[in-house]
Copies of this chain bind each other. A is one copy, B any other.
C-alpha cells in the first residue's frame, strides 16, 4: 500500500466531456474550436483544487467553455496510456496527463452556445458508423484498405477480425464496436491521428482521412462514448435523457436509430416500448406528422423503480440495412 515514497509524482488530470444531443433525428457532439492544429476539440479542462467532485469539475468546464448545462453525466473511461505524450517536464516531476472522460446527455438545448462552441454531427467523425440507409459507401474502401494491411503471416486471423468488425461478409454488423473499429483504423494508419501522434507527415497518397479528426485523442474518446451509449440504450432508459418532455413514438425511434446507426423495425419498436411500459400517453397529439397524427408520450419515471433493467433491446431489421 502506497508508501509515501518521495519518488511519487503528481500528474495533471484533465476532465473531458462527450456531450451528446439528438436533433431532428441526427446525433451530435458538443465541440469547441481551438487555436491549435486540429482546430476542433471536446470541451475539457484540468481538475483544479476547488471542485468538490470530479463531475462538478467537469460540469464547470463545459459550462464555461460552451454555456451548455449538463444533465445526465456518467464516467466513461480514464485515458492515460496512449496519446498523452509522455513529454517529461524536467526535474523528476512527470507532466504526463491523465484524462478522465465523461459521457453527458442533454436534450438539444435551444439556448445560444458560446461563440467557439458547436454541435458536430457524430457521423462526420465516423461516417462508416451510419448504416441507417444501408452500409456506408466508405465501408467497402475501408475494408479493402484494412485487408491490404495484413502481414501475410497473420493474414487469416487478421482477415477474420476485419470481417468481424467491418462485416462486409456474412457476419452481422455489431453497432456497439465503434471503438474497436476506430482503433483498428488507427492502428492500420488509416486515420490522420495515427501519423499526427507520431509527428509524421500525414500521407496523402492512397486515400483521404475518413471522417473529421479532433485534437489529441478526442476522436477516440468520442468513439468510446458511442460504443458505450449504443450498448447502454439496450438495458437502461438513457434514451429519454435525449428526448424533450413530450415526444411521439416515431421521434423516439428516430433517436434510437440516430444513436445506434441502424434502421429499426417500426412496429416491433413500438411493441417493445409498449410492453416494457416505458412511456405513457400525455393525451396530446402531434399533428405535424404528415400523416395520421401521433399520440404524444412522456417517459414514465417510475419504471426506474419497477423493472429490473428497462431499456430498448433494439436490434437491426434483418433485411433493411443490408441493402
Contacts and interface: CB of A to CB of B under 8 A. Distances in A.
A164 B305 contact: yes
Nearest to A176: B309
Interface residues of A, number: 54
A11 B50 CA distance: 12
A44 B47 CA distance: 22
A323 interface: no
B308 A164 contact: yes
B78 A54 contact: yes
Nearest to A160: B305
A10 B14 CA distance: 10
B2 A306 contact: no
Contact of A1 (B3, B12, B32): B32
A98 interface: yes
A24 B174 CA distance: 36
Contacts of A78: 54, 75, 78, 100
A278 B68 CA distance: 47
A177 to B, nearest CB: 8
B308 A45 contact: no
B305 A2 contact: no
Contact of A75 (B55, B77, B161, B306): B77
Interface string A287-318: 00000000000000010011011000000000
Given A86-B52, A100-B78, A171 B1 contact: no
Contacts of A238: none
A65 interface: yes
A134 interface: no
A187 interface: no
A9 B48 CA distance: 5
Contacts of A12: 8, 10
Contacts of A309: 174, 176
Report, nearest first, the 3 A-B pairs whose CB atoms are least far apart.
A10-B10, A53-B81, A160-B305
10 contacts: A1-B41, A1-B45, A7-B49, A8-B12, A11-B11, A13-B13, A53-B80, A75-B77, A80-B100, A160-B305
